[in-house]
Amino acid sequence: MNPETLLQVQNLSIEFGTSSGRLRALRGIDLEVPKGRIMGLVGESGCGKSTLAYSLSGLLAGNGEVSGGAILFDGADVTKMSDKELRDIRGRRVSMIFQDPMTALNPVITIGRQMLDIQYREPGTNAEKRARAARMLERVGIPDAAAQLGSYPHQFSGGMRQRVCIAMALLTKPDLLIADEPTTALDATLEVQIIELLRELQQEMDCAIVFVSHHLGTVAELCDDVTLMYAGEVVERGSVRDVFHNPAHPYTQALLECDPARMKVATRQLPTIPGMLPNLVDVPQGCIFASRCQHVWERCRSAHPHLSKTATVGHRAACHLLDAEGRT
Amino acid sequence: MVLGPRATPELIEQTRAAMGLDRPFALQMITFFGNLLRGDMGVDVFTGRSVTTTVMEALPYTLALITASILWAAAIGIPLGAYSSIRRNTWIDRVTGILSVGTISIPSFVMALYSVLIFAVWLRWLPAIGAGEGFGGQIVHLILPAFAVGVPWVGYIARIVRASMLEIMGESHVRMARAFGLTERRITRAYVLRIAVLPAVTLIGAGVAHLFSAAVFVEVIFARPGIGALIVSAVNERNYTIVLGAVLVTTAIIVLATLISDIIIAWLDPRQREGM
C-alpha cells in the first residue's frame, strides 16, 4: 500500500437482511483516499453512498453486514475491528458530520457538555477541554463562543448547529472526516458558507475528507477527487477536473447533463435520466446501468464491466465502451 | 339524609338549620366557596370537628403511601425498562415483558390481599394492619401497602421506558454519539435515558388519580388511616361534608401532581422550558 494512502476500500460488499431477501447494497467497491485529500462521493438517492460512508467507521445499521472485502484505514481493517477498537478510532482518527443538523445533537445536553464528553480520551483538565471547545466553536464562526457552551442545541439555527457539529468533528483533529451530505438540509447561502468553512479547516488541519453529496456543483467546488456510484457500484472515479470535463461513463455523462447549472439551452422541463434503479435483491447480470444507458450494446447485458483505465492516469470507469473503443 | 330513615321531623329541621340548608341555594354556594378560600370546609355534623382538620389528618398517610409506592415503582421500573431495551429480544427482555403485563393486569386490592396473606399471615415478617407508631414503625407499616399499590406501576413504567428507549436509540444524535466513540454505557445513561424517562414522568403525573383509587382499596384492606379509608367510612355513614371535603382535597392534589410532573419534565428537558 502506498504510504500516502490513508483509506483504502478493497472489493467491499455489504448486504442488508430485509423481509424480501438479501439486499446487496454495495458490490465490489474499490476506492482510495490519500492523506489530506478531499474525495467526493456522488450518486443519486439510494445508490449506497451513505451506506459506504457509515461503513467506513463501522457504523452500519443493525441488519447490515459486510459480506466481503476490506476497509483499510491506515493499514488496519475496519471491518474486522472489535467494538473497542472501533471506539478507539471513532472521534479521534475518524470523525463524522451528519446530514441533518437539527437532529444530530442531543437535545437535552448542553453543547459544552457534549463537546466535553467527546474529549474523554484526551489529556488535560475539564477547564482546558472547555477552553479547547470554545476555541473550536469560535473557529467555526460561532459568536460569543465561550458563553454558548452552556446553550442547548434547540437554541441554535440549523446552520449554526451544523457549525457546532463541524467543530465537534474537528475538535480531536482527526485524520479522516466523513461528511454525509452536510449541506443537504441547509439552504443555498448557508451551503456556500459551510463549504467555505470546510475547505479552510481542511487546509488548516490537513485531514482527508470523504464528502458525500448528490450535488455536483458542491463537489466540483470542494473536492480534489470524485467517485461516482450507481446502484451500489463504483462506475467512475478520478480527479474532479478529469471526471467533470471528460466524463467516461454514460451515467456520469447523463448526470452532468441533468445538472441545471450546466445546461446551455433553456428548456421548460428539467432533464432526467429515464428509467429506475435496478432491484438490488435480485441484481441483474451484466452492467448495472444497462437498463437506463443510451449506448447499451449486447455485451452490456451479459458481462459485468470492471473499472478500466481511460486516456488519463488515475481516471477509471466501469464501462464496456472504453474497452471497445480501445480495441476497434 | 344524614340522620338516616328514623329521624324525627324536629331533628331534621334542626340539622337543616345548623347546616344552612334552609337558605337559598345560591347563597349556600357563595358561602361554601367563600369559606373554602379560607381553608374552611365546614363542620362534620357527627363529631362536630372541622372537616379540614379531619381531612388534613388523613392526608399525610395517603400521601406517604402514594409517594412510597411511586418511588419504589420508578426505582425498579426505570432500570428494568432500560435494561430490557438494551437486551432487546433476549430471554431477559421477554421475562420482563411478561412480568410487566402480568403486574399491570393484577388489581392492587388482589395484590394487597395476597401480600397480607403471604408476608403477614404466613411468614409473619411484616405487620398487616395499622399505620404504626414512630418513624420506624410507620416505615415498616408502609412496606406492604406501598408494595400492593406500586406493583402495577413497575410494569407500566418498565414498558413505557423500554418503548421510548428503543425509539430514541434509533435517533440520529445517538448515532452521532457513537460516531464520536462514546461508550454504549455512557450513551444509554447520560444521552438516552434522560429523554426516555419523560413519558414515564407524564404517565405518573396523570396516574396520581389512579393511585388515589388504588389507595382507597389498600387502605381499607390494611386498616390504615388515610383519605381512602376516610372516604369509604364517610360514604357508609352518609357523612356528606367529609366526602365533599376529601374529594375536593384529592382533586387539588391531582392537579398539583400534574403541575409537579410538568416541572420535572421542564427540569429534564430544556426544550420544554422555552414556552414557560
Rounded to two decimals, the ipTM of the complex is 0.81
The answer to whether the CB of A81 falls within 8 A of the CB of A101 is no
Q: Which residue has the higher pLDDT, A209 or A302?
A: A209
Whole-angstrom distance, CA of residue B70 vs CA of residue A216: 57
Domain boundaries, chain B: 52-273
Residue A306, phi-psi category: left (phi > 0), alpha (psi -120 to 50), beta (remainder): beta
CB pair distance less than 8 Å for B178 and A90 = yes
Mean pLDDT of the residues in chain A? 86
Beta bridge pairs of residue A90: A94
pLDDT tops 80 at residue A269? no
User: pLDDT tier at A326 (50, 70, 90 boundaries)?
Assistant: very low
Query: Per CATH, is B52-273 categorized as 3.40.605.10?
Result: no
User: pLDDT tier at A223 (50, 70, 90 boundaries)?
Assistant: very high
Residue A322, min C-alpha distance to chain B (Å): 40
Whole-angstrom distance, CA of residue A167 vs CA of residue A224: 22
Whole-angstrom distance, CA of residue B14 vs CA of residue B16: 5
Q: Which residue has the higher pLDDT, A66 or B43?
A: A66
pLDDT tops 50 at residue A23? yes
Whole-angstrom distance, CA of residue B221 vs CA of residue B210: 17
Q: Find which of A60, A86, A106, A175 to mutate to test the B interface (most B CBs within 10 Å of its CB).
A: A106
pLDDT of residue A41: 92
Q: Find which of B180, B264, B276 to mutate to test the A interface (most A CBs within 10 Å of its CB).
A: B180
SS3 A252: helix
CB pair distance less than 8 Å for A96 and B176 = yes
pLDDT tops 50 at residue A327? no
User: pLDDT tens for residues A24-64?
Assistant: 888 888 888 998 899 999 988 888 888 898 898 888 877 88
State which residues of chain B have pLDDT below 70: 1-7, 45, 128, 130-134, 275-276
A294 touches chain B (CB under 8 A): no
Query: Average pLDDT of A250-267?
Result: 79
Query: Average pLDDT of A205-225?
Result: 90
pLDDT of residue A101: 85
pLDDT of residue B34: 79
pLDDT of residue A211: 93
A85 touches chain B (CB under 8 A): no
CB pair distance less than 8 Å for A88 and B181 = yes
Chain A residues lying within 8 Å of B179, measured CB to CB: 57, 59, 90-91, 95-96, 98
Q: How many Å from the N-terminal Cα to the C-terminal Cα in chain B?
A: 48
User: pLDDT tens for residues A82-95?
Assistant: 888 888 888 888 99
Residue B276, min C-alpha distance to chain A (Å): 15
Which three cell numbers mark A158?
440549523
Residue of A nearest to B186 (CA): A117
Q: What residues 4-43 of chain A have any CB closer than 8 A to a CB of chain B?
A: none
What residues of B are in the A interface, CB distance below 8 Å? 171-173, 175-183, 186, 190-191, 194-195, 268-271, 274
Query: Average pLDDT of A207-226?
Result: 90
CB-defined contacts A:B, below 8 A: 72
Looking at domain A5-93+176-186+204-327, its CATH architecture is 3-Layer(aba) Sandwich (3.40)
Which three cell numbers mark A125?
483538565
pLDDT of residue B276: 55
pLDDT of residue B2: 60
Q: Choose among B267, B195, B264: nearest CA to A106.
A: B195
pTM over 0.95: no
Q: Choose among B144, B138, B153, B105: nearest CA to B122.
A: B144
- Provide the percentage of residues in chain A whose pLDDT is more than 70: 96
pLDDT tops 60 at residue A243? yes
Residue A6, min C-alpha distance to chain B (Å): 19
User: pLDDT tier at A178 (50, 70, 90 boundaries)?
Assistant: very high
Chain A residues lying within 8 Å of B178, measured CB to CB: 59, 90
pLDDT of residue B28: 80
Beta-sheet strands, E only, within chain B = none
